[in-house]
Amino acid sequence: MIKDEIGAQIKKLRNEKNMTLKQLSELTGLSIGFLSQLERGMTSVAIDTLLKIASVLDVSINYFFPEDNSQNDDPVLRRHERKIILSDKNNFIQYRLSKDLSDKEMLPRLIEILPRKTYERVNLYSHEGEEFIYILEGILTYYYKNQKYDLYPGDSLHIHSGEMHNWENNTNNVVRLIEVTIPNKFKKK
């Protein structure tokens, strides 16, 4: 499972740097409890959080998602070749939609958002770049600039990510969507 692998990689890097969980917590602003659970594969991590950890551990986020070296010049990614790039603690799974992300500006993903288990308030956030979303299945609730939008299959949204935003699935069904973001956080520098 991907979260087990990521957690083990974080623990290995932290130990190689002779860093305690407390030190990693202080440098990332994440709780010791969360980091401990992450390292033991008991929780998953969002991309933005993983970026913080990678930065403190002085590695690229690509460290946690090694490229498949069997790739050739064929740009087509077949459905059976699709890989999970992240399972998130907030009930969503991201699949990469490109064979090679290392030299691309855009990050295309298929995202499946499971029904919410808890009904805590959704925290809005912002980051650099742009996001494009196209709803394939289900009803997505999207928050942008203090507005709430319900998006249905066939609806799309294109925003500047520097504005406060987030999403949630308030239904009993899975929401499936295509998301394309810029910048691509997996691009090699």
- The CATH number covering residue 169 comes to 2.60.120.10
Q: Is residue 70 part of a domain?
A: no
* 58, 90: one domain: no
Strand 165-168 with 92-96, pairing? unpaired
User: Between residues 101 and 88, which one has the greater pLDDT?
Assistant: 101
- Render pLDDT for 150-163 as a digit per residue (tens, 0 to 9): 999 999 999 999 99
Question: Under a CB-based contact definition with an 8 Å cutoff, are residues 178 and 109 in contact?
Answer: yes
Mean per-residue pLDDT, 53-71: 71
Amino acid at 180: V
Closest-CA residue to 132 (of 71, 172, 179): 179
Q: Is residue 140 part of a domain?
A: yes
**What is the CB neighbour count within 10 angstroms for residue 26?**
12
pLDDT at 22 over 90: yes
**Average pLDDT of the chain, as a whole number:** 84
pLDDT in the model for residue 135: 97
pLDDT at 1 over 60: no
pLDDT at 50 over 70: yes
CATH number at residue 56: 1.10.260.40
pLDDT in the model for residue 158: 97
Percent of the chain at pLDDT above 90?
Answer: 37
Mean per-residue pLDDT, 79-106: 75
pLDDT in the model for residue 175: 93
* 27, 97: one domain: no
* 98, 142: one domain: yes
pLDDT in the model for residue 130: 94
Domain of 60 in residue numbering reads as 2-64
Q: Is residue 162 part of a domain?
A: yes
> C-alpha 68: how far from its chain's center?
19
Mean per-residue pLDDT, 39-53: 80
* 93, 18: one domain: no
- Render pLDDT for 110-128 as a digit per residue (tens, 0 to 9): 998 888 766 677 788 888 8
Question: Under a CB-based contact definition with an 8 Å cutoff, are residues 86 and 100 in contact?
Answer: no
